[in-house]
Chains A and B, each alone.
Chain A
C-alpha cells in the first residue's frame, strides 16, 4: 500500500476516533488556553528555526513550510 493510501486510511481512522473522544467543555479549558498548549504559538520563531534547519538538512516540511533561499550558500 502506498504512503498516500496509508495516510488517507490513517487520517480516516484518526477522524473517526476523534469523534469518539470525550468532549472537553469550555469551562474545562483553563490549561488548554496557555500558549504552551498551542502549536507554533510564536510563528516567527518557528519560521526562523524551520528555515535554518531546512537550509542545512535534507528533509523539509511537516511543521509549516518555509520561504526559499539561504544566503550562506
Chain B
C-alpha cells in the first residue's frame, strides 16, 4: 500500500488544454502472481472561460492476488479497488491558476481520502512557471484478518520551477517533502523472525524528501528527448535515485513512436533484514524496503487522426504501450496500456 496523495496535473502551466474524454485500459501482470486490469475514464470540461473541471473514475480488478494472499487463500483472492476524483482549475488571472481537488480510493481492507490545493504562476513573459501546493491524505488500512482499522496521515508539500531555456529546451526542477504518521506496516507481508512468520512492525513516523530535475529537448527530424531524474531520501534510511530517458519521433504527422528506459536504485530501510533473531524493535517483510535496482523498458505508439476516425471525431488519439519491469530481486512485471482520447470541442 502506498501513501496517498492525488496527482492533479503536472506542475507546468498549460494553456491549450481542450475539453476531452480520455479512456484508458491497463493490464498488469507480475511474478508475485498478481494480475490487475485497470480501466480509467477521465473527463476534462470547461464550464466558463476561467474554470475547468476534471473528473476521474478508475477501477483495479485483481483477478489473482499476490503470493502473500495465497498463503491463506490457496485459490487466490479477488479484490477490486475503486478510485474517484475531481478537481477544479480556476484562472485567477491570465498568469495565475488555482487548482483544488479531492480523490477517494476504496478497496478491500484499505481506504484512502485525499484533498489537494495547488497554485501556479507564469512569469518572465510566459517563460517561467512557479508552482506550489499542499495535499493531505487519510489512509485507513484494516488489519486483515482482524476487523481493527488503523489510521495513517500524510501531509505533502511541493514546489517546482519550470523554465524555457531556449526555443527548443524546457527544464523543470522540483522539491517535495512528505510527512507520514500513523500505522505504516503491511498487515499482508510477513517477516521471518526466529524461524516463524509474523506481521512486521515499522516506525510510525516517516519523512520523505525528493529533488527532481527534468528536461525536454526538441531535436532535429521531428524528434524529442525526455529526461527525468529524481533523488529521494527518507528518515527510514532509504536513499534512491531514478533516471528515465525517452526518445519520441514523429514517423508521420499523425504517428508518434516513443521508446524509454528507466533505471531505479534504492538502499534498504535501516530495519530491513532478510531474517530476524531475538526480539527486534522493528522488523518487516515488506519487499519495498529492501535494497534493489530495477530497469523499466517501454515502447509506445500514439496515433492522432487528422479527420474522422471511425465514429471518433477529428483529432482523436489512439495509444498503445508496452512496458517491462525487472528488478534485481527477481521481481518482473509486464504492463500493457491501450487508450482513446476523444476531443469534445476546443476552448
Contacts and interface: CB of A to CB of B under 8 A. Distances in A.
Interface of A: 3-4, 7, 10-11, 14-15, 18-19, 21-26, 28-34, 36-73
Contacts, number: 256
Contacts of A54: 2-3
B4 interface: yes
A60 B208 contact: yes
B211 interface: yes
A38 B164 contact: no
A7 B83 contact: no
7 contacts: A59-B230, A59-B266, A61-B156, A64-B11, A67-B137, A68-B112, A73-B1
A3 B43 CA distance: 39
B173 A67 contact: no
Contacts of B95: none
Given A36-B256, A59-B208, 7 more contacts: A23-B125, A48-B337, A58-B289, A59-B230, A62-B210, A71-B36, A73-B68
Contact of A64 (B10, B173, B287): B10
B107 A62 contact: no
Contact of A23 (B114, B127, B289): B127
Given A45-B24, A46-B7, A65-B156, A24 B216 contact: no
B165 interface: yes
Contact of A11 (B161, B189, B212, B294): B161
B224 A37 contact: yes
Contacts of A40: 7, 9-10, 12
Interface string B85-122: 10000000000000000010111001110101000000
B110 A34 contact: no
A68 B36 contact: no
Given A48-B40, A61-B176, A67 B162 contact: no
Instruction: Name the 5 nearest CB pairs between A and B, nearest first.
Output: A68-B4, A40-B10, A64-B7, A68-B112, A65-B5
B229 to A, nearest CB: 9
Contact of B24 (A44, A62, A67): A44
A33 B168 CA distance: 10
A58 to B, nearest CB: 5
Nearest to A6: B211
Contacts of A18: 124, 127-128, 161, 163
Given A44-B56, A60-B208, A65-B5, A71 B62 contact: yes
